[in-house]
Amino acid sequence: MARHKAVPAKAPAKAAAKPAKAKTTRKPAEAAAKSPEPKPVKKPKLVRDSFAIPKIEYEVLDKLKKRAASLQRTVKKSELLRAGIATLDRMGADELLAALNAVPAIKIGRPAK
């Protein structure tokens, strides 16, 4: 009996070089449909500030909070102030001027001790 040498198996010939992937242009509808999820909305940067308002106007904030609660909407003071600012922003020049003139000026600064 003749001994056969173990011949290592030849590695399979590598397939011809893979063709370069052609760039596919997606239609806008396809691109939107294939995106996994929309990018998260960035939270706006918050600015802390302090100011003084007359006690009567401060009590109006509490009154408005109670009014909103009666409408099944809990609200914070900051939300009320932001809603007021948004309302002022939407006003025309004449309306804004009338609203500003209706608010009396207050002395600024800390009270004397």
Q: Would 60 be classed as within a structural domain?
A: yes
Instruction: Show the domain range for 78.
Output: 55-102
Give per-residue pLDDT as tens, 37-88.
788 888 889 999 888 889 999 999 999 999 999 999 999 999 999 999 999 9
Domain annotation covers residue 91: yes
Residue 30 lies in a domain: no
**Computed over its alpha carbons, how large is the radius of gyration of the chain?**
35
User: Nearest 5°: phi and psi at 41?
Assistant: -75, 130
Q: Is residue 4 part of a domain?
A: no
What residue type is assigned to position 79 of the chain? Answer: E
Condensed to tens digits (0 to 9), the pLDDT of residues 17-43 reads 555 665 656 556 555 556 677 888 888
The pTM assigned to this predicted structure is 0.57
CA dihedral 78, 81, 87, 91 (to 10 degrees): -140
User: How many structural domains does the chain have?
Assistant: 1
Q: What's the CA gap between 10 and 18, in Å, rounded?
A: 21
